[in-house]
Amino acid sequence: MSNPVLEAISNRRSIRAYKKEQITREQLDAILTSAREAPSARNKQPWHMTVVRNKSVVAEVNAEAKKILGLKHEDIFYDAPVVVFISAEKDWEWSKLDAGILVQTMALAAQSLGLGSVILGLPIGAFQGPREDYFNKLLKFPPNYEFAIAISIGLPDTAKDAHEMEPDKIKYVD
Ligand SMILES: Cc1cc2nc3c(=O)[nH]c(=O)nc-3n(C[C@H](O)[C@H](O)[C@H](O)COP(=O)(O)O)c2cc1C
């Protein structure tokens, strides 16, 4: 079977190289609106999105995350023109799951617009060290919110094969 939604799901890849140009305001708004349409437990919408197009802010988070995690990557954000940091309410059991649904909704919306994206867990390093409060403020996380996940978005400058699907991930009880 095929339809535009199934095609977007099937064609999405984690994109790790981007063209220099910025995505349009319309594309960004469409992705952010789609995200806000995502479901959440008890409809609490326990998420917040910080859109960062300032390269020096992204570079600061990159440097700190790599330092704390001891990584050798060049750039954990892959020099994308826009990075969205998703923070989520602390002390609510479904926050991280809801943030995951939100970020995948953004990845699929980006894909549907011909854009690439990669979901990023590694930035968490910046929020695990002694400068956690500084980075929470820099990224304007609301009070009582913490880093959940990030996503780099831009025009893809690379192609990638689909990942292999591991076997034995489905059982039926009929
Ligand atoms: C929660 C989560 C965290 C991830 N963190 C990173 C990351 O920090 N850096 C990265 O390059 N890819 C990251 N990825 C992307 C995965 O590596 C990627 O989804 C996986 O290899 C499958 O490839 P595909 O997305 O192209 O199908 C993350 C994906 C998820 C869902």
For the chain, domain boundaries: 9-154
CA 34 vs CA 18, 59, 82, 105: distances in Å:
22, 27, 17, 7
Spatial separation of the C-alpha atoms in residues 133 and 101, rounded to whole Å: 26
Helix (H, G, I), strand (E, B) or coil at 82: strand
Contacts of 101 (CB under 8 A, 6+ apart): 38, 39, 40
Spatial separation of the C-alpha atoms in residues 56 and 152, rounded to whole Å: 15
Ligand 1: which of 14, 72, 77 to mutate, most ligand atoms within 8 Å of CB? 14
**Tell me, what's the pLDDT at 73?**
80
Q: Ligand 1 mean position to 123 CA, how many Å?
A: 12
- In terms of DSSP H, where are the helices of the chain? 4-11, 25-36, 55-69, 95-112, 132-138
**Tell me, what's the pLDDT at 147?**
98
Task: Give the residues surrounding ligand 1 with Cβ less than 6 Å away.
Answer: 13-14, 16, 118-122, 149, 160, 163
Whether the per-residue pLDDT at 72 is higher than 90: the answer is: yes
Q: Ligand 1 mean position to 61 CA, how many Å?
A: 18
Q: Give tens-digit pLDDT for 73-130.
A: 899 999 999 999 999 999 999 999 999 999 999 999 999 999 999 999 999 999 999 9
Spatial separation of the C-alpha atoms in residues 149 and 151, rounded to whole Å: 7
Q: Ligand 1 mean position to 120 CA, how many Å?
A: 6
Spatial separation of the C-alpha atoms in residues 47 and 140, rounded to whole Å: 13
Ligand 1: which of 15, 120, 153 to mutate, most ligand atoms within 8 Å of CB? 120
**Protein residue whose Cα sits closest to atom 1 of ligand 1:** 121
The fourth-level CATH superfamily of domain 9-154 is NADH Oxidase (3.40.109.10)
Q: Give tens-digit pLDDT for 147-158.
A: 999 999 999 999
Q: Give tens-digit pLDDT for 2-50.
A: 999 999 999 999 999 999 999 999 999 999 999 999 999 999 999 999 9
